[in-house]
């Protein structure tokens, strides 16, 4: 039974964000625990009426508390560069390289003394945990980039077939003696499939992506995969598979439709849920 492109496109998802996409709390807690001792030392300064003097005493007795200072500014590096009318300084916090006066100047100018002294916070550990949550939100792009691959891999695993991740054409040719020169322009270009599935009868090269928003990249991808689909049709023992999804395709539907018309093994998430891989690899 042939598929109708417009009906197929209607099943595309706006998002594939998992519950763990937003914040990796295990990482947050791990980062906070790594500097818990140093944070608790600095916590003794909360509400201090003589913040500069108390900071100096603390630093002389426990210089290791310096390690936690960058985290209070949402900085992961041990080096922080600052400049003002008095000049420029590169502060180190993994070791005591500046004078105590310079560190006191840093704490004052960055507003950390004010944060600690005026009870804006009551627990530095809670504060750092919140900072780590903010920093981890920057990792959503990386997590999002792997979500579709992880989802596709989960459905590949269910089939029970042998599979490989990020496999180059040359490796496929050498392992299974398949000539893929038509895809690689006679070996002049480097191509790598996200997944390669091996069944007793055939080898499948799989590409996967998810586009939540539109852009020129979608049209380029569709054209590129259309070419691979056409070139791979005459390769014995090999099939090209593309799994894609996302609302971004709604505005790039024409290029996607062109590929849909020439690539039989073009699937979306709904297809995988309906057992597309099980049928394809059987």
- Is residue 188 predicted with pLDDT exceeding 80? no
Q: Identify the domain boundary among 90, 114, 138.
A: 138
Same domain, 134 and 155: no
Using the 3D structure, point to which of 118, 138, 158 is the last residue of a domain.
Answer: 138
The secondary structure of residue 274, as a DSSP letter, is: T
Is the domain of 131 the same as that of 184? Answer: no
Please indicate, yes or no, whether residues 260 and 132 belong to a single structural domain of this protein.
no
Q: Give the per-residue pLDDT at 136.
A: 87
**What percentage of the chain carries pLDDT values higher than 90?**
80
With cut-offs at 50, 70 and 90, classify the pLDDT of residue 139: confident
The predicted structure's pLDDT at residue 157: 97
Q: Would you list the DSSP string of 44-104?
A: TTTT-SSHHHHHHHHHHH-GGGGGGHHHHTT--SSEEEEEETTEEEEEESSS--S-HHHHH
Residue 190: its pLDDT value, please?
66
Tell me the average pLDDT across 120-143: 86
Question: CA 140 to CA 153: how far, in whole Å?
Answer: 20
Residue 186, pLDDT > 60, answer no
Please state, for a pLDDT cut of 70, what percent of the chain lies above it: 95
Query: What's the CATH number where 233 sits?
Result: 3.40.1350
- Confidence category of residue 40, pLDDT binned at 50, 70, 90: very high
Strands 238-245 and 266-267: parallel
For 205-244, the pLDDT digits (tens) are 999 999 988 888 999 999 999 999 999 998 999 999 999 9
Q: Which of 179, 210, 178 is nearest to 194 (CA)?
A: 210
Domains: count for the chain: 2
Please say if the pLDDT value at position 185 is more than 70: no
Q: Specify whether 152 is located in the same domain as 274.
A: yes
Average per-residue pLDDT in the chain? 92
Give just the sign of the alpha carbon dihedral 247, 249, 252, 253.
Answer: negative
Q: Are residues 124 and 13 in the same domain?
A: no
Given a cut of 70, whether residue 111 has pLDDT beyond it is: yes
Tell me the three-class secondary structure of 154-210, residue by residue.
HHHHHHCCEEEEEEEHHHHHHHHCCCCCCCCCCCCCCCEEEEEEECCCCEEEEEEEE
Residue 132's domain comprises: 25-138
Give Cα separations from 275 to 22, 63, 157, 158 (angstroms). Answer: 29, 60, 12, 10
Point out which residues pair with 198 in neighbouring strands: 162, 203
Contact 201, 282 (CB under 8 A): no
The pLDDT score that the predictor gives to residue 36 is 95
Tokens of 82: 């600052």
The pLDDT assigned to 138 comes to 78
Same domain, 15 and 44: no
Is residue 185 within 8 A of residue 219, CB to CB? The reply is: no
If pLDDT is split at 50, 70 and 90, which confidence band does 1 have?
Answer: low
222/179 same-domain check = yes
Write the pLDDT tens digit of every residue in 43-52: 999 999 999 9
Q: What is the pLDDT of residue 144?
A: 65
pLDDT confidence of residue 57: 97
135: tokens are 């920093």
Which of residues 195 and 215 earns the better pLDDT score? 195
- Does one domain contain both 13 and 90? no
Going by pLDDT thresholds of 50, 70 and 90, the confidence category of residue 88 is very high
- What is the per-residue pLDDT for 120? 79
* Chain centre distance of CA 8: 28
Q: Which of 138, 169, 191 is the last residue of a domain?
A: 138
Question: Of 10-24, 56-70, 184-198, which gets the smallest average pLDDT?
Answer: 184-198
Task: Clarify whether residues 73 and 160 are in a common domain.
Answer: no
Kindly state the average pLDDT of the residues 109-136. Answer: 92
Q: Residue 182's closest CA among 218, 225, 142, 231?
A: 231
Shared-domain flag, residues 151 and 121: no
Q: Which of 28-37, 176-185, 256-265 has the lowest mean pLDDT?
A: 176-185
Mean pLDDT of 164-182: 93
Tokens of 241: 């598979």
Residues 13, 44, single domain; the answer is no
Residues 54, 130 within the same domain: yes
DSSP 216-273: HHHHHHHHHHHHHHHHHTTSTTEEEEEEEE-GGGGSSHHHHHHHHHH-TTEE-HHHHH
């Amino acid at each position: 039974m042939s598929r109708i492109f417009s009906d197929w496109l209607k099943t595309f998802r706006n998002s594939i964000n998992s519950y763990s996409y937003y914040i990796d709390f295990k990482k947050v807690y791990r980062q906070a625990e790594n500097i818990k001792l140093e944070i608790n030392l600095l916590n003794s300064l909360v509400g201090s009426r003589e913040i500069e003097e108390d900071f100096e005493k603390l630093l002389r007795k426990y210089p290791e508390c310096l390690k936690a200072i960058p985290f209070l500014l949402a900085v992961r590096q041990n080096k922080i560069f600052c400049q003002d009318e008095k000049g420029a300084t590169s502060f180190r916090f993994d070791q005591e390289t500046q004078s105590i006066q310079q560190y006191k100047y840093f704490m004052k100018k960055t507003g950390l003394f004010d944060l600690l002294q005026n009870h804006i916070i009551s627990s530095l550990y809670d504060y750092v945990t919140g900072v780590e949550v903010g920093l981890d939100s920057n990792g959503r792009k990386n997590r999002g980039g792997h979500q579709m691959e992880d989802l596709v891999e989960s459905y590949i695993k269910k089939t029970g077939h042998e599979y490989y991740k990020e496999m180059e054409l040359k490796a496929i040719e050498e392992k299974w003696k398949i000539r893929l020169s038509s895809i690689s322009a006679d070996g002049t270009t480097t191509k790598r499939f996200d997944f390669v599935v091996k069944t007793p009868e055939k080898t499948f090269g799989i590409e996967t992506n998810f586009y939540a928003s539109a852009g020129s990249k979608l049209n380029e991808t569709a054209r590129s995969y259309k070419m691979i689909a056409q070139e791979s049709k005459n390769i014995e023992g090999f099939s090209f598979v593309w799994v894609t999804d996302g609302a971004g395709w709604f505005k790039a539907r024409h290029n996607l439709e062109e590929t849909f018309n020439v690539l039989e093994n073009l699937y979306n998430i709904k297809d995988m849920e309906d057992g597309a891989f099980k049928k394809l690899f059987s």
